[in-house]
Structure 1
Amino acid sequence: MKKKWLSLLIVAILAFTLSACNDNDAAKNSSLDAIKKRDKLIAGVRYDVNLFGFKDPADGMVKGFEIDLMKELAKRMLGSEKKLELKEVTSKTRIPLLENGDVDIVASTMTITEERKQQLNFSHVYFMAGQSLLVKKGSHIKGINDLKGKIVMTSKGATSGLVLKKLEPSIKLKEYENYADAFTALKSGKGDVITTDDSILMGMEQQAPKDFEIVGGYFTQEPYGLGMAKGNKELTSYVNKYLKDIQNDGTYEEIYKKWFKKSPPNDIPEEAVQKVLKK
């Protein structure tokens, strides 16, 4: 028995050591010095979230609020936005790609949570959202109290479904590879509602405002942070300074207005974690 426990202990120590080595390698490969030597910033972004990061079928270009933030970061870090390389990520793939060193930074509507802070470094908050619901117009669903037994759709790897499951355990949760697939499923009647951050839902609603609407108000606070490899302190400090600089010189407001047609809030906190609001 003692030998068995000793073997298990050795396996656990080796697994921890390998994990730590992987974290260190990812941070090293994506360090500020490594990026500058490479002369290229590799950013993981969404291709499926209207307003934040989406691939425009008209010209094949990836556009959005987070894309412009990354372009400005590359411009200030490397002298040109053309030195930015975009890689598509989803809620499911964004953290593994960071851990593997495949991307330097993730700008992907990613909520800062205590669990995720154990896996990666977060920047200060750059956008404050809140979880809500998207339904077809005419739906009797107006809020959480109407969701008993309903089919609720979201994206794999997102926290939204789990949060809603805690608030209404009877829901039937369906997870899709991305939000575009979830929206297609809602259009075809494969579910009753999509849940995620209102910022993402707003992009869906704008695509078909006569057919869909956001309901239910906020039932969480969702502070978005830019993700970097665990232990990558130098890059994290640089990005935090960048966010402060663009807020102070008006660039952030300019980019925000471009996509959301209104001024940004004045009270975005530097540090925050996801908070489920009490009903």
Structure 2
Amino acid sequence: MKKKFLVLVLATLTMVMLAACGSSKSSTGTDKGNDKSAKATTVVDEIKERGTLRVAVFGDKPPFGFVDSNGKNQGYDIVLAKRLAKDLLGDESKIEYVLTEPQARVDLLKSDKVDIVLANFTVTPERQEQVDFANPYMKVAIGLVSPNSAPIKSVDQLKGKKLIVPKGTTAETYFMKNHPDIELVKYDAITEAFEALKDGRGNALAQDNALLFGWANQNPDFSVALPSLGDVAYIAPAVKKGNTELLKWLNTELETLGKEQFFHKAYDETLKSAFGDDISADNVVVEGKAE
């Protein structure tokens, strides 16, 4: 009887141990399954689940990004933002616009406050260390706008004078690096910089020439007497560093848009009237990839 009882106890213990092992394996398998499911949730999936695309844009930089008298976002960058939202979320209105100044663009991405920056973001090696740029949709160079009564046609003419620059722009970086002897008058907001030029607080203003062409066309007392400095650069959407999945989606989208000449149409819609007949779309836009 004792022997039979001992065999029964051992058999019971064996069954319990096997059941525990099976449960452990099942639990481990479930955990792995959960991990796999969690990894399957991508940034693009998160945007779709949220239901809005968060885009950083300018609010005071016509004709690229500005808020009109009715409080609506308008401009070249806005046309692109709406198309991205339509193709990603099925509705061009599913956008949360986040207004930015030039110096805040990188921080908005780093802090996850926006998904994409579409705010005339010029690609530079320094910025490429902090954010990831998609394919470009514009090309640009630094230019100078000055009064017709005292045009600045060369950098040499700036010696002993004041040059206005918006903070956080490639123009500021260019002059600090290449012409440190020129006195820079810096402003946080682009509108403040242009008002300073009108008020005579500087002899010229440096900024992307595409912006200056439009501004000078609307302000006939000023002209872009020095239209190009340094190398031609590109403007592109930017995402947070390492956000490879959204970057891949953007590049595919931009190539698709390029095939349908989307950016030439956007130019005609938003930039042509601002730039005037002297500027051609081919001088400004890039369709899907760098040339």
> Is the shorter-chain TM-score for this pair beyond 0.5, marking a shared fold?
yes
Does 1:163 find its partner at 2:174?
yes
Pair 1:147–1:164, CA change in 2 (3 A):
same
1:169-180 superposed matches below 5 A: 169-180=180-191
The corresponding residue for 1:44 is 56
Cα distance per residue 1:196-224 (max 9 Å; x no partner): 1101212321331x211111131122211
Aligned residues: 243
Deviation at 1:170, TM superposition (A): 2.2
The match for 2:289 among 256, 270, 275 is 270
Conservation of the 8 A alpha-carbon contact between 1:183 and 1:204: no
Deviation at 1:268, TM superposition (A): 6.2
After TM superposition, the structure 1 stretch with the greater mean CA deviation from structure 2, 251-260 or 180-189, is: 251-260
Instruction: In structure 2, give the amino acid aligned to 1:168.
Output: H
1:12-27 superposed matches below 5 A: none
After TM superposition, the structure 1 stretch with the greater mean CA deviation from structure 2, 195-204 or 233-242, is: 195-204
Distance in structure 2 (CA, Å) of the matches to 1:191 and 1:158 = 17
Cα distance per residue 1:136-162 (max 9 Å; x no partner): 111142221211121111111112123
1:190-269 superposed matches below 5 A: 190-208=201-219, 210-220=220-230, 221-261=232-272, 262-264=280-282
Identical positions, percent: 31
Does 1:31 find its partner at 2:50?
no
The match for 1:97 among 89, 104, 108 is 108
Conservation of the 8 A alpha-carbon contact between 1:30 and 1:103: no
Distance in structure 2 (CA, Å) of the matches to 1:245 and 1:174 = 42
Deviation at 1:269, TM superposition (A): 8.2
Consecutive unaligned residues of structure 1, counting only runs of 5 or more, are 1-27, 273-279
The match for 1:53 among 62, 65, 73 is 65
Instruction: In structure 2, give the amino acid aligned to 1:54.
Output: F
Distance in structure 2 (CA, Å) of the matches to 1:140 and 1:267 = 30
Distance in structure 1 (CA, Å) of the matches to 2:100 and 2:78 = 13
CA RMSD of aligned residues (A): 2.1
User: Which structure dedicates a bigger proportion of its chain to helix?
Assistant: 2
TM-score after normalising by structure 2: 0.78
